[in-house]
Amino acid sequence: MQTEDKKLGRVVQQPPIIEGDWLSQIPYTVLVEDNWFTKQLYKFLPHHRLAPLLYEVYIATQTFIRSSEISRRYKDAKDLLVNLGSGPQGQPGWVNVDAVPWKGVNCIYDCRKSLPFPSNSVRGILCEHFFEHIDYTEEAPYFLAECYRVLQPEGVIRLIVPDAGKYLQGYSQEGWEELRQIRPLDSENRDVHFGTQYQTKMELINVVFRQGFEHTYAYDYPTLELLFAQAGFSAIQTQDYGKSLMDELCIDLEARKPESLYVEAVKTQD
């Protein structure tokens, strides 16, 4: 099921129900999306304040009870390939981690501040268009510290986010042509992803940087380089779509290529 919210500039898919898993039967739409229940609540609290809280409640229902079992499952794991914030893009042979039970997710876990893997048990991490969803001060440092902990020495993390610098460069140019090279827009400046028609370039920038309540921070390479260095990583470098220090990590989506910033880093020897 897919619902469109053109006002917020986002398209939301309802996660599937996992057979035999009662937690996944808690309907996503009841807690998060517009329906009779949420509309009654929005009479007392505005959507932009309440919706993030309802989303957190949903994540908690999906992950809290599962967390102990997930940690036990990976207690002796080693040599893992991990896709953090995989969404519905989970890959066979990978540990696909997400707090929402999308199809393909085999590790339902809130990875914003901790990871359920032993130290030095992961050889490669992919994180595509998830990092911008976590808080810059309260979550991002813990997230990267956990990535460093679980990676094996010489393990690689591949981090992909919307390229804020590229978007701002497009914004500063005359007309819309450069932004159209980054973001798929039709001739009327309608967003192919979300259906939103932009009247001004700043409307587009806000949708990219905020995406309703979902995006919390905008990144360029110097900012990611700083965060990686603070977490202890070395060999921090930009990459391109389809190119990596570890070929196995090149499973990122081609559709994201025009707008994306690709950065990789390596865990130094302990």
pLDDT value for 41? 79
How confident is the model at residue 2, as a pLDDT? 34
pLDDT of residue 30: 54
Q: Which residues contact 136 (CB under 8 A, 6 or more apart)?
A: 216, 217
Amino acid, single-letter form, for residue 84: L
Provide the residue-wise pLDDT of the chain in tens; the chain has 270 residues: 233 344 444 444 555 544 555 555 555 555 566 677 777 877 888 878 887 888 888 888 888 888 889 989 999 999 999 999 998 899 999 999 999 888 899 999 999 999 999 999 999 999 999 999 999 999 999 999 999 999 999 999 999 999 999 999 999 999 999 999 999 999 899 998 888 899 999 999 999 999 888 899 999 999 999 999 999 999 999 999 999 999 999 999 999 999 999 999 999 876
Contacts of 69 (CB under 8 A, 6+ apart): none
The predicted pLDDT at position 27 comes to 54
- Evaluate the CA torsion angle 251, 257, 261, 263 in order and state its sign: positive
pLDDT at 61: 83
- Show the domains of the chain with their CATH numbers: 10-63 (no CATH), 75-163+219-266 (3.40.50.150), 165-210 (no CATH)
Question: Quick check: 198 and 189 in contact, CB under 8 A?
Answer: yes
Distance CA 232, CA 245 (A): 18
Task: List Cβ neighbours of 6 (8 Å cut-off, separation of 6 or more).
Answer: 194, 195, 196
- The whole-angstrom separation of Cα 107 and Cα 78 is 15
Kindly report whether the global pTM for this prediction surpasses the value 0.85. Answer: yes
Q: How far apart are CA 53 and CA 85, in angstroms?
A: 19
| pLDDT, position 38 | 74
